[in-house]
Amino acid sequence: MHLGLAAWGFRETQLEKQLEITGKLGLDLLELSIAGHHNDVLQSGASSGEIAVVRDLFKRYEVKLSCASAGNDFTLPDKADNLKQLASVKRVIDIASEAGADRLRIFAGFSPVADVTGGRWKVMIDCLRQVAEHAAAKGIVPSIETHGGVTATADGVKHFYSTSSQPAALLKMLAELPETMKVNFDPANLYAIGMKHPEEVYAKIKDRVNYVHLKDFVPVAGTDSLKPAACGESAMDWGALLKAMADYDGPALIEYENVEDVEDGCRRSLQFLRKFGI
């Protein structure tokens, strides 16, 4: 595994500070979020000059700009809304390619898996196929994150099955998509839904995994909600997980999601993962 840092926990942190933290932790890989949050330095209208500034910033800090991420949902009820999402992702692919990235984390969508059938399933697949085609032409490999739907609560979050986190739906999706569409395996997202052994999902899809997010979720006392945590802070069997993933040699990005102490959370996660010889 090539350890680095993921973008989501840094959504309130300026990019140069993100790069500084990456270097302080002794890492050389940082995921760049593009038009996925209103604070992202590169939005869909980014100019070549703005992209060059970001590319040069990564070079100055000696951090690889290999992994980028987009925000999208191809499981919306209205086909027109999904096509707008597709146009946005294609633009992100263009920006990521110009910036020098070669992998892009995307989503299938966040609707309950039971709702995405018939025409909605077909639209989702068609959008993902077009993403794969456009990405291939730009030298980008897209990766669908194993991400469930999320409901915010007063205490934290609750995850539910989406098309990319329900194993049967995920396998069906991958069978219908070209091999150029890969997977961003996030075991904590599966654990948050209730899967005690997310490594069992990894075993079924490992030939398509080229991107990994590593994080944790812990229960909120007295509720049925969860809150984000550093790697190793839940009861998930990290030993079994990392043993099952011993053959994986791609980017594995620490995704500590709490913005208020993101640097410390990334550090704690890294210290935990280093215990396994990563």
pLDDT, one tens digit per residue, over 240-253 is 999 999 999 999 99
pLDDT digits (tens, 9 = 90+) for 70-115: 999 999 999 999 999 999 999 999 999 999 999 999 999 999 999 9
pLDDT reported for residue 262? 98
Q: Measure CA of the first residue to CA of the last residue in the chain; give whole Å.
A: 7
For the sheet with 182-185, list strands across it: 2-5, 251-254, 209-214, 182-185, 141-145, 103-106, 67-69, 32-33
What is the average pLDDT across 5-22?
98
**What is residue 158's predicted lDDT score, i.e. its pLDDT?**
95
**What pLDDT, on a 0 to 100 scale, did the predictor assign at position 129?**
98
DSSP state of 13: S
pLDDT tens-digit profile of 24-41?
Answer: 999 999 999 999 999 999
pLDDT range class, residue 168, cuts 50, 70, 90 = very high
Helix (H, G, I), strand (E, B) or coil at 215: coil
Calpha distance 179→165 (Å, rounded): 19
Counting residues of the chain whose pLDDT is more than 90, the rounded percentage is: 98
Which one-letter DSSP state was computed for residue 262?
H
Q: Which residue has the tokens 């809304």?
A: 81
* pLDDT interval class at 234 (50, 70, 90): very high
Closest Cα partner for 127 from 64, 84, 66?
A: 84
> Which band of pLDDT confidence, cut at 50, 70 and 90, is reported for residue 22?
very high
Q: What pLDDT sits at residue 39?
A: 95
Give the integer Cα–Cα distance in Å for 38 and 217: 25
Q: Are residues 168 and 210 in contact, defined by beta-carbon separation less than 8 angstroms? A: no
| Domains annotated on the chain, with CATH | 2-274 (3.20.20.150)
Q: What is the pLDDT of residue 28?
A: 98
Chain CA centroid to CA 64, Å: 17
How does the average pLDDT of the chain come out, rounded? 97
- What Å distances lie between residue 92 and 34, 84, 268, CA to CA? 6, 13, 31
Q: What is the pLDDT of residue 38?
A: 95
Q: Strand 216-219 and strand 226-229: pairing?
A: antiparallel
* Mean pLDDT confidence for 160-189: 98
- pTM above the 0.95 mark? yes
Q: b/e string for 200-217 if b means 16 or more Cβ within 10 A?
A: ebbeebeebbbbbbbbbb
Query: What was the pLDDT predicted at 157?
Result: 92
Taking the C-alpha atoms of residue 50 and residue 56, their distance in angstroms, rounded to an integer, is 10
Tokens representing residue 221 in the block: 């006392």
